[in-house]
Structure 1
C-alpha cells in the first residue's frame, strides 16, 4: 500500500487550486478532505449543515450528527487549517425532504434509504447553491468515491477502498453536480485517512464513524415515525402466502422485507416478512425461499454514464449498500421505468431501496425499486 505521505503528495499535485466549500460533519473523513485540499493550495471554506432539531426525532442532543460536539470538532479543524467556517441551518428542508419522505415510504409499505435522500435533496443540492452564493468553484465532501471526465462526460466511479466505497448512495448525481464536486478521499484507504489525521494532529483523528441514521441513532425508527405523525401504528394480521391468518402484527412500519426476528409468533417453522400490504394493513410471511426473485422495476432513474442509454445493457447491479454487485440485464419499459433482470435470484428485494448499476468501477445509473 502506498504510504500516506506519498499518497497525499500525489493528491496535492493533481488538484488545481480553486475556491472550495467543504462540507464538514465533524468526522475524520471530511476533516481530512479539507486538509488535503488546503495543502493543494485551494482556498477552502468550511461548512456544517444543521439538519434537524433533536427533539423532532425524540433523541438527545448528544446522539446525532447535528450534536454540538460535532459542530465544535468541525469548527476546531477549520480553525486549525485557517479556514472560514459557517453553520448552515437547513432544518426546514430536512424535515420535508428527508424525514417526511422516510415516514411516507414506511407508511406505503416501502423501505426507504434516508441517507440517499439526505445526500440528494440536502447535502449536494443545497451546498452547490450555497457555494455559488459564496463565490466558490466547487463543493467537497469526505465521501469515498471518485469523479472523472471521459469524452466530455462526467463519470462517478467507485473508491479505491472497496470496503468504504460510497458510490451506491451517490447514484443520483447529475452532470452539473459532478462537474462541481470534489471527493479527495476517493483514492485513499480509510486507514490512510486516519493516519493523515493523526500525523497532522486533527482533533477527531480517532473519532468513531457514525453507523446509524442520524435522526434514528438508537435504531427505533418506528418510534420516530409515530412521533413525526402523532399517530400510533395500527395492528393488523400476519398472513401466509395462501391468506391464512398466523397472528397479529404491531403495525406495518415495524417490519422490513426479509425480517425474521421480532415477529412474536410461536410457530415451529421459521417465517420471514415477504410483503407488506398497506391497502389492507397486512404483513405477508413465508419461507426463506419465497424471498428470492430475479426481476425488479425501478423508477426515478438517473443515468450518469449515458445521455441516452442503449435499449439493452449487460451490467452488474446491487440492491443494497453492502451487497456485492451481481450480473444483470437492463431494459427500459414503455412508461420510462427501468427493468432489471438478474442472472441469479436475489434475496429480499425491497420497494423503496435503490438499485445501482455498474460497469466495472463506473456507476452507470440508478433508481428507486418499485
Structure 2
C-alpha cells in the first residue's frame, strides 16, 4: 500500500472523525493516527482507551489505515512539567496551547512524515489561507467553537503542512454530517477539560503533585474572611469553590477571587463581580510569537482575547526591545490573569500571541515586588 498523502489526527471524537471523512470524500489518500498523550495513572479517569477504540472504528468504517503513537513522555516533558511549574508560581497556565505547539504540531507532524505523509489534518475549528508566500491562520467559521486561540503558537512551517477540514463548518452541520455518514462517533459527547484530569476533582489531582497548605482568605483591606485549602487551586475572577458561608457584618452576596499571594499563602476576595481590584487596562507579556514570523509593526492597533471565548477587545500593542509586549486597552478588562494567553487578531486573522506576565490591576501592583515590569523600555 502506498503511503498516505495526509495523516489525520484521529482522537476518537466527532470532530476528527468528520475531518477524516471529508478528506476521504474528496478522494485524498488518507490514514489516521491516534496520539496517546497521558500515561494511564490507574485512576480510570482518562478515557484514552475508549477514545482509541472509537478512532479504530472510524478508520475501519472509512477504510483507511490506523496508526498509534504514544507521546506521553513528550507530553510530560513539554506540557505537564510547565503546567505544574506555573501553578506552583501562582499563575494559571493554558496547557492546550502548549499541547498544540509541543505535541500535535511537532511530534505528530514528525511521526506523520516518518510514515510517508506530506501533510497532517486535525479536527480543529480554524481555517488556513495563503496570501502570496504568507500562510494565515483564520478563525473557524463557527465563532462559538473557534479554536484559533489555542493555535496561536503555530508558525509558517506548521501551517504550510496542515489542513483543518472542518474549519468552515458549524457544529450543528458537522453533527448532521456525522449522523448521515453513520460515523460511530456522531452522538459522542464533546470532551471538555484536560485529559490527564478527566472527570476527577481538580484539587485532588493537583494535590498529588503540588501539596497544598491551608491559608487565609482575606478581603483587599486584609480583614480575614475564611480559610482556603490551597492557594494554587484558585484563579482570578473565580466564584465557585470558595465555600465562604455567611460572614458577620457582610452582605449575603457571592465572593470572587481578586488576588493571590503565593509567598504568604493568602487568597484575596471581594463581593463585587466587577470589583475594581479585578480590573486592569494594561498588561505586559512574555516574548511574543508571531504567526507571520514578525509583528506587523513596532506599535499597532488590533483586537485581543485574554481568555478563550472572550469577545474581541480593542487594544494598542507596543512591541518592546526584548520581544515582549506592552498592551493597553481603552476599556477596563476583568480578571486578566498572568499565565493565560493573550491572542491578537486583525479581523479573522490571528496574528499570534504571548503569555500574560503582569497587569496593572491594583491588587497585583500592591503585591508585586519592584521593579515594575511596566518600566522596561519599548522599541
TM-score (norm 2): 0.87
Q: Map 1:67-216 to 2 at 5 A.
A: 68-216=49-197
| Structure 1 portions without partners, runs of 5+ | 1-16
Runs of 4+ in 1 over 6 A off after TM superposition: none
Q: Which residue of 1 aligns with 2:311?
A: 324
Q: Which residue of 2 aligns with 1:7?
A: none
Match of residue 335, structure 1, among 322, 347, 355:
322
User: How far does residue 212 in structure 1 lie from its aligned partner after superposition?
Assistant: 2.2
User: How far does residue 307 in structure 1 lie from its aligned partner after superposition?
Assistant: 2.5
User: How far does residue 308 in structure 1 lie from its aligned partner after superposition?
Assistant: 4.2
Describe the superposition over 1:239-259 as per-residue Cα deviations: whole angstroms up to 9, x where unpaired. 332334433221111211112
User: How far does residue 306 in structure 1 lie from its aligned partner after superposition?
Assistant: 5.4
Q: Is the 8 A contact 1:51 1:90 kept in 2?
A: yes
Q: Is the 8 A contact 1:47 1:86 kept in 2?
A: yes
Q: Secondary structure of 2:209's match?
A: helix
Q: Map 1:211-360 to 2 at 5 A.
A: 211-218=192-199, 220-229=201-210, 232-265=211-244, 266-267=246-247, 268-269=250-251, 270-286=254-270, 287=272, 288-305=275-292, 307-360=294-347
User: How far does residue 170 in structure 1 lie from its aligned partner after superposition?
Assistant: 0.4
1:149 and 1:303 map into 2 onto residues whose CA distance is 16
Q: Provide the alpha-carbon RMSD of the alignment.
A: 1.8
TM-score (norm 1): 0.89
User: How far does residue 133 in structure 1 lie from its aligned partner after superposition?
Assistant: 0.9
Q: Secondary structure of 1:197's match?
A: helix
Q: Is the 8 A contact 1:306 1:364 kept in 2?
A: no
User: How far does residue 146 in structure 1 lie from its aligned partner after superposition?
Assistant: 0.3
Q: Is the 8 A contact 1:78 1:85 kept in 2?
A: yes
Q: In proportion to residue count, which structure has more helix?
A: 1
Q: Is the 8 A contact 1:212 1:219 kept in 2?
A: no
Q: Is the 8 A contact 2:38 2:195 kept in 1?
A: no
Q: Secondary structure of 1:187's match?
A: coil
User: How far does residue 96 in structure 1 lie from its aligned partner after superposition?
Assistant: 2.2
Distance 1:193 1:261, change over 3 A: closer
2:176 and 2:297 map into 1 onto residues whose CA distance is 44
User: How far does residue 228 in structure 1 lie from its aligned partner after superposition?
Assistant: 2.9
Q: Which residue of 1 aligns with 2:9?
A: 23
Q: Which residue of 1 aligns with 2:28?
A: 42
Q: Which residue of 2 aligns with 1:11?
A: none
User: How far does residue 44 in structure 1 lie from its aligned partner after superposition?
Assistant: 0.9
Q: Across the two proteins, how many residue pairs are aligned to each other?
A: 347
User: How far does residue 342 in structure 1 lie from its aligned partner after superposition?
Assistant: 1.2
Q: Is the 8 A contact 1:25 1:65 kept in 2?
A: no
